[in-house]
């Protein structure tokens, strides 16, 4: 069995150019599904693979850095992760989703465009933006407003480029379906391109994509439409937002509620409520469960399902949020990286009848 796993891992590695299978799952999130009022039902793991989109017909990469294609947003940041910007990547991803599903788990994919926060080194190499003269690429944004001092001035994208990016999201959704993913999440949070359009802090456009609330949300709605044209209605479509920029004059929770109402009408299944990421010096009251109130407010004021994320680290905490109807799903990142067996431990803590792998049962 070990040999088989290593063989598959190595094959995936060579095809997908990831250095370890763990890195593939770097951004994994655990989802607890609120199936019953009694207890959280641990679904196991919905593994989210974060992917950059095809934003170019051809990417010329040097050590995975695109010198000449500014549109491939996460390419460097995720140089050791997966991408879905060309059809040739579908076969490799199919094997990843097949393996996940064979273990009784659900494979989801998050589609992202990093906008003005692109062209960065990996977090473990400092996460700083790479200037163009040092091999980075021109980043894109709604306006020529840099993320922070010392970072690139983004190129304000034209309407033609907006159209192409929207189309590329649709193409990535089509590939995701072919590759066997069961959930798509659109990344409209953390100061990446779609969030940059939402927020007046980063969007000072004077055309129909800037200014009023209706204009700032236009790109996201167009992307949702384009994705829905390729993604079956019976497969969940999530949208991750930063519910607040945490700064006066920025995107705020009232706008998040208004946006969520529109997304609900459009058929989006769940709003994954994160926050921040678009303003460097925002004062964020980081504490356990600090983003839960956003999920609660959006859920109760719109009726859409919400997910919550951020400093949720134990089973009882997660369970309480669900029992209190503050959110419908729990997303976890770092705790799940610390403890990949979290679903097993959580099921024991909550006395949930969750099937441990047979060979692990003696450790229960
Ligand atoms: C290694 C790592 C990679 C991440 N990558 C992404 C990502 O690609 N997209 C995203 O929306 N959030 C990403 N995040 C943020 C997490 O999804 C999550 O919002 C954040 O870590 C807070 O949750 P936590 O306290 O459970 O870690 C990442 C987090 C970590 C630790």
Helix spans in the chain (H): 2-16, 21-24, 89-102, 159-178, 193-198, 213-216, 218-230, 253-266, 292-302, 315-323, 334-338, 342-349
- Domain membership of residue 16 (yes or no) is no
What's the burial of 253, exposed, middle or buried (CB within 10 Å: 0-12/13-18/19+)?
middle
DSSP 48: E
- Domain membership of residue 190 (yes or no) is yes
CA of 27 from ligand 1 middle (Å) equals 6
Cβ 322 vs Cβ 10: under 8 Å? no
Q: Which residues line ligand 1 (CB under 6 A)?
A: 26-27, 29, 50, 110, 187, 189-190, 240, 274, 309-312, 332-335
Find the domain containing 55 and state its range.
25-356
Pocket test for ligand 1, best of 27, 117, 313, 331 (most atoms within 8 A of CB): 27
Which protein residue's CA is at the shortest distance from atom 18 of ligand 1? 333
> Domain of 94: which CATH number?
3.20.20.70
CA dihedral 171, 172, 173, 174 (to 10 degrees): 50
- Domain membership of residue 77 (yes or no) is yes
- Domain membership of residue 223 (yes or no) is yes
Residue 276: name the closest of 147, 119, 120 by CA: 147
The per-residue pLDDT string of the chain (364 residues; one tens digit each, 9 = 90 and over) reads 334 444 444 444 333 332 223 333 333 444 444 433 333 333 344 555 555 543 332 222 222 222 222 222 233 333 345 678 889 889 988 988 898 888 778 888 889 888 999 888 877 888 888 888 888 889 999 999 999 999 999 999 999 999 999 999 999 999 999 999 999 999 999 999 999 999 999 999 999 999 999 999 999 999 999 999 999 999 999 999 999 999 999 999 999 999 999 999 999 999 999 999 999 999 999 999 999 999 999 999 999 999 999 999 999 999 999 999 999 999 998 898 898 888 888 888 888 777 778 888 888 7
The pLDDT score that the predictor gives to residue 51 is: 55
Cβ 299 vs Cβ 327: under 8 Å? yes
- Domain membership of residue 211 (yes or no) is yes
Which protein residue's CA is at the shortest distance from atom 23 of ligand 1? 310
Which protein residue's CA is at the shortest distance from atom 7 of ligand 1? 27
CA of 317 from ligand 1 middle (Å) equals 18
- Domain membership of residue 4 (yes or no) is no
If one counts the domains in the chain, the total is: 1
Residue 175: name the closest of 230, 255, 98 by CA: 230
Q: Among this protein's residues, is 74 annotated catalytic?
A: no
Q: What are phi and psi of 168, to 5 degrees?
A: -65, -35
Cβ 136 vs Cβ 152: under 8 Å? yes
């Amino acid at each position: 069995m070990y040999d088989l796993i290593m063989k598959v891992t190595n094959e995936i590695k060579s095809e997908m150019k990831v250095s370890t299978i763990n890195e593939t799952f770097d951004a994994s999130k655990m989802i607890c599904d609120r199936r019953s009022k009694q207890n959280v039902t641990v679904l196991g793991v919905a593994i989210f693979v974060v992917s950059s989109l095809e934003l170019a017909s051809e990417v010329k990469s040097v050590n995975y850095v695109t010198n000449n294609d500014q549109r491939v947003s996460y390419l460097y940041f995720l140089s050791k992760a997966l991408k879905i910007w060309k059809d040739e990547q579908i076969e490799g991803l199919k094997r990843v989703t097949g393996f996940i599903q064979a273990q009784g788990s659900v494979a989801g994919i998050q589609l992202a465009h990093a906008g003005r926060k692109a062209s960065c080194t990996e977090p473990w190499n400092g996460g700083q933006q790479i200037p163009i003269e040092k091999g980075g690429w021109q980043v894109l944004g709604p306006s020529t407003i840099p993320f922070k001092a010392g970072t690139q001035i983004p190129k304000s994208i034209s309407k033609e480029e907006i159209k192409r990016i929207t189309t590329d999201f649709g193409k990535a959704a089509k590939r995701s379906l072919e590759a066997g993913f069961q959930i798509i999440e659109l990344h409209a949070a953390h100061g990446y391109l779609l969030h940059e359009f939402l927020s007046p802090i980063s969007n000072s456009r004077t055309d129909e994509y800037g200014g009023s609330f209706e204009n700032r949300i236009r790109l996201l709605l167009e992307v949702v439409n384009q994705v829905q044209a390729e993604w079956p209605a019976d497969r969940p479509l999530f949208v991750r937002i930063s519910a607040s920029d945490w700064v006066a004059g920025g995107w705020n929770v009232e706008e998040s509620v208004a946006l969520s109402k529109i997304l609900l009408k459009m058929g989006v299944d769940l709003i994954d409520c994160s926050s921040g990421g678009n303003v460097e010096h925002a004062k964020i009251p980081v504490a356990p469960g600090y983003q839960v109130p956003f999920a609660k407010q959006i859920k109760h004021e719109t009726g859409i399902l919400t997910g919550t994320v951020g400093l949720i680290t134990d089973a009882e905490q997660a369970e309480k949020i669900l029992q209190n109807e503050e959110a419908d799903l729990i997303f976890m990142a770092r705790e799940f990286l610390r403890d990949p067996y979290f679903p097993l431990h959580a099921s024991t803590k909550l006395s949930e009848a969750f099937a441990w792998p047979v060979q692990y049962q003696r450790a229960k």
